[in-house]
Amino acid sequence: MTGPPIAGQPSAAFAGLIGIVAPVSTFAKRDYLMNATRFPSEGNWAFCRFDSAEVPAVRLGFQKGGFNGGAVDRVPSPRYLQLHLEVMTRDGAILWLPSGIYAADSVVADPEAMDIELTHGSQCIFSLRGWPRMACDFRSSDGDLEVQLNFDLKSGVILPDCYLPYCLFAMWESMGNATGTVRFGDRTVAVNGKVFFDHTRILAAQHRVRARHMYVYTTLYLEDGSGLFGYHSADAMGQPIEEYCFGVFIDAEGNGRLLNDASLVHLALDEEGIAKSWKIRWRAPDLLLAADVEVQFSRILRCWGAPDVPVLRQEFSILPLVLDASVKIGFAKSARELKGKGLAEYFNANLWPADKAAITPGPNS
């Protein structure tokens, strides 16, 4: 695949067509349920942005089965679960990261309904139940951190397939409402806002493509009820990878479209190499979205779960980034400007140390 993605193309991993925004209630079961017989790696991830000043954001989710998203023939072990429960508070980040602790096959998923659970002994670590209204419960093994949220998912879209050197990465993304509680220690905070919920699938395959060296994944919901999200990816030379530079705009009524002309400018990094601001534009012949994004600085208050969890910010390049933004929609004099809030992920391979304990050498290593 070369060139920008085009709406209406078939997906390698999902039954629906790429780039067509639709109510998630119309998604086929085979697109939102897990299928271990076909996909060696699948996951569910939620990026939540709340109105709360005390707890502005939460990112949580899991990936069952390791996959090689890099450029060298070394594969993260598929035996263990990647698991994140990350609470962004007014004072800083509280991160429970037990990746590599729980066996991947400990996750139990109903093949006929959205009902996924991980238990360890008599304790439920996480559960996801219901569709398209979901009950989402995640808690740390020591009980110090717990998130109980209800998602009401509205519109969603299958994103373009991402061809990486050693796999194909596919996902759909949805947007909806989120409400519930977040507890850390003896403090419980009620939260209300939006969720960007996605389902990822991986197919192992080799492709002669440029590796993603950097990407910025931006999600924003806007004050009029609309929302937008998208990727901007670049290779090791800093050149955009057109196949994975795109955005999706969904208006307040749930109508949306894929925008395959994306450009990222003025990406600024802080002293620890983590993104602190950027400007991103998505364009179609009749629509222009231009977002001016600022990141709320978050120090790490606590990080635990696995023996090798990051202690410093520069050791964790995918720290959730709490966003405030100004977004212009339209052209010139007809443009309107809206405030937006979101949660982003910035990846840079230079800040991604290999975890030797969780890596298995490939056949050519």
Task: Express each pLDDT in 322-345 by its tens digit.
Answer: 999 999 999 877 889 999 999 999
What pLDDT digit, counting tens, does each position of 265-317 carry?
889 999 999 999 999 999 988 899 999 999 999 999 999 999 989 888 988 88
Per-residue model confidence (pLDDT) at position 76: 66
How far apart, in whole angstroms, are the C-alpha atoms of residue 323 and residue 150?
A: 22
Closest by CA to 81, choosing from 361, 347, 305, is 305
What pLDDT digit, counting tens, does each position of 141-162 carry?
999 999 999 999 999 999 999 9
Which residue would you say has higher pLDDT here, 21 or 37?
21
What pLDDT digit, counting tens, does each position of 207-234 carry?
899 988 899 999 999 999 999 999 999 9
Per-residue model confidence (pLDDT) at position 354: 41
Per-residue model confidence (pLDDT) at position 117: 98
What pLDDT digit, counting tens, does each position of 22-33 carry?
999 999 999 999
The answer on pLDDT for 66 being more than 90 is: no
Per-residue model confidence (pLDDT) at position 358: 35
Q: In the 3-class helix/strand/coil scheme, how is 182-247 assigned residue by residue?
A: EEECCEEEEEEEEEEEEEEEEEECCCCCCCCCEEEEEEEEECCCCEEEEEEEECCCCCECHHHCEE
The answer on pLDDT for 17 being more than 50 is: yes
The domains of the chain, with CATH numbers, are: 33-353 (2.40.370.10)
The answer to whether the predicted template modeling score (pTM) of the entire model surpasses 0.95 is: no
Q: Which of 152-161, 185-194, 284-293, 349-358 has the lowest mean pLDDT?
A: 349-358
Q: Which of 43-47, 85-89, 123-127, 348-352 has the lowest mean pLDDT?
A: 348-352
Assigned token pair, 250:
């969904």
Per-residue model confidence (pLDDT) at position 97: 96
Q: Are 20 and 6 spatial neighbours (Cβ–Cβ below 8 Å)?
A: no
